[in-house]
Amino acid sequence: MTDTTRFAGHGVMITGAARGIGAATARRFAEEGATVLVTDRDGPEAEETAARLRGEGHAVWARVCDVSDRASVEAAVAHAVDACGSLDVLVNSAASCTPDTPLFEDGPDEAWARDLDITLTGAYRCCRAALPHLAAGGRGAVVNIGSVNGLQDFGNHAYSAAKAGLGSLTRTLAGHAAARGVRVNLVTPGTVRTSAWEGRDEELDEIRTLYPLGRVGEPEDVAAAVAFLASRDAAWITGTTLTVDGGLTAVNTGFRTAVRHPDDD
């Protein structure tokens, strides 16, 4: 059961929170008592998400934030401190994933730069702007949203490189921020049913068979992991990667299926 007071008095800022994992995470923190700032490049959709949660009685606000722009990030962080009263948790969920070209050598510089700038450097910008505020309260936490793409090959060269880099940034920042009372961790989801998969139910059904737990993830699965790492329940955890992937990266389901024991027949 959700603890409706675990984040009482906490201010939380989430990037890329208009939909999907970010929106589910905003709901989770709000339901646990936090005041939440939903940020996204899509201002109207961010406001729609925030308004829906406010209508349910939660303290949730919205702000346009383009993580590729330093001024936009700094303004959003300042707004979070003002709107929430403090900034205790930063969740970096904003990302860009450009489909690969059929041949690696045909990939445009622009697509590579965009994916790294939003997914990795965007998180860096947000952490840089938020860290003094997170440290001021003595209970600050950063949770970055990575991906299994940063751990193994699932395609998408630039996106995967950015997510792998986010893992490294998580560890180095955790080392720096620990003395300032701020914890920094990473959640790495597998396939999650978001709007990116809309109209692709047959494909998701095929993908589901690769997961030992027999299903793809839901945004709420990731939100629960984020809330744990940001909470006092994880007070002695920093610099770690929590893989939320239904066992995908731990178990080679295809191999286990191909190599069957004679007694299985």
Please work out, in degrees rounded to the nearest 5, the angle formed at the alpha carbon of residue 81 by the alpha carbons of 85 and 15: 125
With a CB cutoff of 8 Å and minimum separation 6, the contacts of 164 are 149, 150, 151
Distance between CA 79 and CA 129 in Å, rounded? 12
* Amino acid at site 78: A
SS3 49: helix
Collect contacts of 57-64 with beta carbons under 8 A, ≥24 apart: 58/27, 58/30, 58/31, 59/30, 59/34, 59/35, 59/84, 60/26, 60/30, 60/35, 60/36, 61/35, 61/36, 61/37, 62/37, 62/38, 63/37, 63/38, 63/39, 64/39, 64/40
Q: Which residues are catalytically annotated?
A: 159
Instruction: Find the length of the chain.
Output: 265
Q: Report the alpha-carbon distance of residue 42 to residue 24 in Å, rounded.
A: 16
Cβ atoms < 10 Å from Cβ of 43: 14
115 and 98 Cβ atoms separated by less than 8 Å:
yes
